[in-house]
Amino acid sequence: MEQERERRKQHMMLVRALEARKKAEEKERLKQEKKAEKKMTRERKMEQKRFELQMAKELKKPVEDLQLRDLKVKKLNEALVPL
């Protein structure tokens, strides 16, 4: 009878240890997911900021520069179109 009780006690300790291990692994997995999500959000924000800075830079260019660039693009497209 005492042996059976000790065996059950050992079994329950093992079960609890396994449950604790699963819980810790799940906690670590969630932590890693949050970390990856934060990194992705940070990268998206940085990309958006770069895009906004590029757009601001383009908007600051004089209109003449933009017209010259458009003219160059138009002439290049005309040269590439087969007759």
Question: What pLDDT shows up at residue 81?
Answer: 65
What is the reported pTM?
0.53
The domain in which residue 50 lies consists of 2-80
Q: How many domains does the chain have?
A: 1
Give residue 70's identity as a one-letter amino acid code.
Answer: D
The residue-averaged pLDDT of 13-17 equals 97
Query: Nearest 5°: CA angle at 21, between 28 and 18?
Result: 155
In whole angstroms, what is the distance from residue 32 CA to residue 42 CA? 15
Phi/psi of residue 81, nearest 5 degrees: -75, 120
Question: What pLDDT shows up at residue 30?
Answer: 97
The residue-averaged pLDDT of 15-21 equals 97
Which residue do the tokens 């004089």 mark? 62
